[in-house]
Structure 1
Amino acid sequence: MKKLAERLLECLSINLGLAPDALKNALGELHQDLLINHYPPCPNPSVAVGANKHTDLGGVTCLWQLDDVVGLQVLKDGEWYPVHPKPGAYIINVADMVEVASNGIYRSIQHRAVVNPAKRRISIAAFYDLHPDAIVKPIPELVSPERPACPSVRFGDHAMKLAIETDKVGKKVVD
């Protein structure tokens, strides 16, 4: 999975017109955290939340949904859209630090998980996060008078701030 995340960063870098290792160099060494989510059936989904609206903190997230149950939703233009699972496919989320390194060209997607009234849902998320002391700043080639640099971010501070300040859940790092 880590090789997949690294390859994704290469493709994202090339798409920006940069060297394949540009984003990897901007983020530093990535480590993997796994999260296995089990969402049991909930007869009254209006009173339960699977996961509140949020963005992922680090580099990229590779999500694998084991069931054909729709539960992941993404926010676009103020509306929530379901993400329909495809057998054997991963869902890839660009996370906050790629948004910073790309100077806001790539956006960390706001998403949430909702429960299903009749079926369970299981997902496995592989988060590729940074060292807490990593300082991420926009890649210089992506800064211009038309696109001024967004602020640099220390990953550990960003993660701690969002963990402590619950009112920041779902807010964007670059805006």
Structure 2
Amino acid sequence: MLESQSKMSASSVPPMNLELPSKPVQELIKSADKEVPERYIYQLPNRSDDNHFEIEYMDSSVIDLSLLSASSSSQHEELRKLRSVLSSWGCLQLINHGLSSSLLDQIRQVGKEFFDLPLEVKQKHSRTLDSFEGYGDDTVSEGQSYNWNDRLHLKVHPLDHRNFRLWPEYLPNFRGTLEEYTMELRRVLKTILEAIAKSLELDENIFLRECGGEESINMFTRFNYYPPCSDPSHVLGLKPHSDGSVITILLQDKQVEGLQVEKDKQWFKVPIVPDALFINIGDQLEIMSNGILKSVVHKVVIDKENKRTSVATVSIPHSDKEIGPFGELIDKEIGPFGELIDKERPQMYKRIKNYLSVFFQYYPRGERAITAVKI
């Protein structure tokens, strides 16, 4: 295989102009003018993509974390189920994960308390164009619609990489709750990555090693706020995309649905399973698994009457070198594991440095970075 075919770098991606909304959506809806601003109107490619077209719920893809770590015959069956679900759907509902209902309620609550703060207070934690951390919305390229979403994006691990200037000190329970939640998610992440490796008949530590080890893996938490919209059929809370992560762990709203996933060019609603964590595979794990696991495309639709909140935590590999302005991992190279490449399943993805840098060149355009990595 030619070197140019087997490797790719961020430098091959053309530059673009990035834009941020001038006002948070939470402030827009306070206006007497109920018209949806043009920059938020999402043009649907076809009728089947209509946010409010009658669609089905995704199959019941529930995985029991306690069985994945059990030393019994039930573990083997749960591992088989895990591989099947992540190969077909790329996502699952995780139960018996060990996080208490009270902790889940607390992390939701501190997120809601942040978005209830006065605008001038929240703006002290605003993001800038050269960093995705902080309060605001995602950047988009010229001509792309904005998300109907406000968010607070914070790095939570490693501990010495946290930027406390962006953490709201006005909320007495915020830091302690987020630190406890992060500690619990580290345990869940370790267990699920080990289980995925076992399901692929790999060394159980292979994904953790690739991510820099349990103590060094990068984790970011994103608090999402989706205000109601008078015309929800023309906006999206998050436009269709896959995540540039290894794995994303999502805590959904307790009552208001909105998350949808794509499978076989059809959209499916994700149900709310009480106290479950929604796990979805990111692009980097699809690449490492040589396409066996699927990085699921998903979007968020908006409710006409009710606001919706969620808490998403993404994990990405650690690098000993500097993290760039978009969180990219300088000189960190990933690619399919050799154990998963053979004559029946040849290498499907190029090896690539700085995948997140590439991801953030495609994501604002509404495009998938992983398509550029495929051989």
Question: What is the match of residue 50 of structure 2?
Answer: none
Amino acid at match of 1:40: P
**Alpha-carbon separation, structure 1, partners of 2:203 and 2:370:** 30
Between structures 1 and 2, the one with greater strand share: 1
Question: What is the match of residue 9 of structure 1?
Answer: 193
Q: Alpha carbons of 1:144 and 1:169: their partners in 2 closer, same or farther (altered >3 Å)?
A: closer
Question: What is the match of residue 118 of structure 1?
Answer: 305
Question: What is the match of residue 18 of structure 1?
Answer: 202
Amino acid at match of 1:160: F
| Structure 1 contact 68–86 (Cα < 8 Å) conserved | no
> Residues 90-105 of structure 1: matches in 2 within 5 Å?
90-105=277-292
SS in structure 1 opposite 2:312? strand
Of the three residues 316, 319, 337, the one matched with 1:139 is: 337
Q: Does 1:64 align with 2:251?
A: yes
Q: Alpha carbons of 1:93 and 1:24: their partners in 2 closer, same or farther (altered >3 Å)?
A: same
**Alpha-carbon separation, structure 2, partners of 1:163 and 1:77:** 21
Amino acid at match of 1:47: H
Of the three residues 255, 259, 262, the one matched with 1:75 is: 262
Moved over 3 A (4+): 169-175
Question: What is the match of residue 108 of structure 1?
Answer: 295
| Structure 1 contact 55–108 (Cα < 8 Å) conserved | yes
Question: What is the match of residue 151 of structure 1?
Answer: 350
Q: Alpha carbons of 1:167 and 1:89: their partners in 2 closer, same or farther (altered >3 Å)?
A: closer
Q: Does 1:49 align with 2:247?
A: no
| Structure 2 contact 244–356 (Cα < 8 Å) conserved | no
**Identity over aligned pairs, percent:** 29
Amino acid at match of 2:367: K
Report the CA distance between 1:170 and its aligned residue. 7.8
Residue-by-residue CA offset, 1:137-159 (whole Å, 9 max, x unaligned): 11111000121112112224333
| Structure 1 contact 26–139 (Cα < 8 Å) conserved | no
Between structures 1 and 2, the one with greater helix share: 2
Of the three residues 146, 156, 160, the one matched with 2:360 is: 160
| Structure 2 contact 239–366 (Cα < 8 Å) conserved | no
Larger Rg: 2
Q: Which runs of 5+ in 1 are unaligned?
A: none
